[in-house]
Structure 1
């Protein structure tokens, strides 16, 4: 797919992996509709994107809110045109032993990480299927393949995301729409702030590492479907 002039949607775009993917797409001439809950950080993203080739549209959106997401996707189509690339990146975690976690905390994780991905796909996939063109990239986590202590909410949500992605792939691949799921390991983002986890930030992945892999997958030949991509720190010790 020739990128320049294409239109993309990126959720969770205000920081970390989503921010880097947004900037990388803009550099290649892709127009990006970027949404996140933090309007302040979205404004910072706009400043960082000044002068880049693609057009940026921003919007404060909670991806678990169907009405908010629908309104922003419609705005993106109206301002930019049809979407060919979707990056379903929005997500967060609460890390506590099951016996200490509140039900509302579990529900919040599932709402953003699972419902948000499902809604993002449902809002955008029909258009790509109708046009017989597109890629939806779902940013999951290696926690979606391996459980860990304090991960009963987060890991469960990412296992569910893998199920959504695999099922969707089988539903739409015959329409020339690819579903690509990326499973990053520990990545140096704000994700770990306020959590009990303390990885070696000098050795773990960076947001740029993950963004580079995502763009490589998007640039892969259309006859190839890199359906699942694991990314681990080469030497996290």
Structure 2
């Protein structure tokens, strides 16, 4: 996890994603993370009174954005770290968000108490590659979605069938990315199709995510104190930015936004 306060996020809900960066002036890390969420739900067809599941919700930034910009009938969320889940849950209770139902659960595996064939939408923002493998991730989502449910997620994909090298395997491991989840787009498309998804869309967003994050880290480096520059948190941020640059330079991998809908 990145220390997003070093990236300029001073809001109560510290973000955990790389952000979606555009050419607007005065873009901030916080705004780019909100834009990443918007890019996901902009693909959803149903946006009114929806039942939504947020997988790997982190510290709640995505949840607050979703509830402020969509008409949600029910929102459930999962994350592997229980401490993260306490933050948005407390905020929901403070805000008293009308009749919105919500549950938070400490897991990102398929073993969940959440209802099956229930949700209109599932979003997984900048996290699908942390799952053990993409096929099991998609199968779990299929189980939770209703007959016309929509799935939106982001992940890293391969641009060819070339085997992932040892150095890249090590770097993926350092970044918490399972190499079993790094597949070609055609493979992901086939897995989605096999599991009954159609209207599949795959968008490559390397420039908006990988280059955008790397450029932001270079920009804010000048604002860091000497203490911060030698801290473990900043070294991790810098390593992530360098990894993004490597992915761009190699052109072996892409950062992709995917959409699929059941029953069509």
TM-score, normalised on structure 2? 0.47
Match of 2:52 in 1: 8
TM-score, normalised on structure 1? 0.51
How far did residue 44 of structure 1 move?
A: 0.9
How far did residue 159 of structure 1 move?
A: 5.7
Once residues 64 and 185 of structure 2 are traced to their aligned partners in structure 1, the CA distance between those partners, rounded to angstroms, is: 25
Once residues 232 and 156 of structure 2 are traced to their aligned partners in structure 1, the CA distance between those partners, rounded to angstroms, is: 17
Match of 2:39 in 1: none
SS of residue matched to 1:5: strand
Match of 2:75 in 1: 32
Match of 1:196 in 2: 235
Match of 1:57 in 2: 103
Which stretches in structure 1 are left out of the alignment for 5+ residues?
A: 93-111, 200-213, 223-237
Which stretches in structure 2 are left out of the alignment for 5+ residues?
A: 1-44, 217-230, 239-256
How far did residue 58 of structure 1 move?
A: 0.5
Task: Tell me: CA distance 1:44–1:156, structure 2 relative to 1, closer, same or farther (3 Å).
Answer: closer
How far did residue 136 of structure 1 move?
A: 2.0
When Rg is computed on C-alpha atoms for both structures, the one with the higher figure is: 2
How far did residue 12 of structure 1 move?
A: 1.6
Q: How many residues of Structure 1 are paired with residues of Structure 2 in the alignment?
A: 171
Task: Tell me: CA distance 1:39–1:157, structure 2 relative to 1, closer, same or farther (3 Å).
Answer: closer
Once residues 195 and 148 of structure 1 are traced to their aligned partners in structure 2, the CA distance between those partners, rounded to angstroms, is: 22
Asked whether the 8 Å contact 1:11–1:90 carries over to 2, the reply is no
Match of 1:125 in 2: 142
Task: Tell me: CA distance 1:4–1:116, structure 2 relative to 1, closer, same or farther (3 Å).
Answer: farther
Once residues 58 and 161 of structure 1 are traced to their aligned partners in structure 2, the CA distance between those partners, rounded to angstroms, is: 25
Asked whether the 8 Å contact 1:118–1:164 carries over to 2, the reply is no
Match of 1:82 in 2: 118
* CA RMSD between the two structures: 4.7
Match of 2:249 in 1: none
How far did residue 6 of structure 1 move?
A: 1.4
Matches within 5 A, 1:58-207: 58-61=104-107, 63-64=108-109, 69-74=110-115, 77=116, 82-89=118-125, 91=127, 113-115=130-132, 117-126=134-143, 128=145, 131=147, 133-141=148-156, 151-154=171-174, 157=177, 160-163=180-183, 166-173=186-193, 175-176=197-198, 178=200, 184-185=209-210, 186=213, 194=233, 196-199=235-238
Identify, as 1 or 2, the structure richer in strand: 2
How far did residue 158 of structure 1 move?
A: 6.0
Match of 2:32 in 1: none
Asked whether the 8 Å contact 2:133–2:180 carries over to 1, the reply is no
